[in-house]
Amino acid sequence: MPRRTMIEAIRDAMDVSMGRDERVIVFGEDVGFFGGVFRCTQGLQAKYGKSRCFDTPISEAGIVGSAIGMAAYGLKPCVEVQFADYVYPAYDQIVSEAARLRYRSNGDFTCPIVVRMPTGGGIFGGQTHSQSPEALFTHVSGLKVVVPSNPHDAKGLLIAAIEDPDPVIFLEPKRLYNGPFDGHHERPVTPWSKHELGEVADGHYTVPLGKAVIRRPGAAVTVLAYGTMVYVAQAAAEETGIDAEIIDLRTLLPLDLETIVDSVNRTGRCVIVHEATLTSGFGAELSALVQENCFYHLEAPVVRVAGWDTPYPHAQEWDYFPGPARLGRALVETMEA
């Protein structure tokens, strides 16, 4: 199979979906002629025309609001918010309209939209280009929330999201766009073959929403991660020599609780890692679920490793991120508890 970067895999997913279904349209800021700020939509306008891939004004509320109206009348918009940090003007549209349309109309209308957003730090983008707002969406009933960690999953999950009858928030870790992040270094490394995750099949395939995958089997402790943190977890396990089982959640909502519970019940320990700030982050929900479902199997308290509870620090970006050293210390302390 050909190897692709995550950017190429995401572009291929939209290309395949647009080719299979004329109802699929792509739009957002600079996604048409320019091909998107990260070039995820490059070439789609030339191939499918300006009526199916087009640029919009700088108005996130307008982008998402228009997508909701189009979806209610039979189209399947896949829209791009240029950075996850820019989604807040559209939050009301997502929460009050997209997430509730099926329920509010008693099933007469659905909202099959995908909102794609580059998320997380690692590009020295500072406070306005580096946020990880996934917990703001996992709190909302009626949404699905997806965070891929590699090109194969990115393509399959995005196609599945486009084909889903309900709204999907699709968060794309920027640090993984152009190559794998091995967890030890600031910059991506090549090729993807290091983890054999860069092979992306041609044509149509899907990765099911709501299904996690075990990236590294282990017996000592379960590590719950998603996106970039999957590679940080792998690096921490390698550096400490701890027999950690690493679960890549892939879909945060709906969550594959069965895989999590099965793993924690076997290992008796659980460490959760995410890039977003600690307080009220998605790790808090994961911790509560593990506590509720695995209490009698736990040999130590559930531990969370996350970003600082501060506005995003540009000058200290690589200290803010949970790295392998910080996660490694948490693994060691958990094993000694």
Q: Which residues are catalytic?
A: 129
CB distance 13 to 21 below 8 Å: no
Rounded Cα distance between 209 and 65, Å, is 24
Place of tokens 């994961």: 286
For 104-142, the three-class secondary structure string (H helix, E strand, C coil) is HCCCCCCCCCEEEEEECCCCCCHHHCCCCCHHHHHCCCC
3-class secondary-structure state, position 84 = helix
Rounded Cα distance between 155 and 146, Å, is 12
Rounded Cα distance between 35 and 246, Å, is 35
HSE-up of residue 132 (Cα within 13 Å, Cβ side): 31
The angle at the Cα of 90, spanning 88 to 94, to the nearest 5 degrees, equals 115
CB distance 237 to 182 below 8 Å: no
82-85-91-93 Cα dihedral, nearest 10 degrees: -10
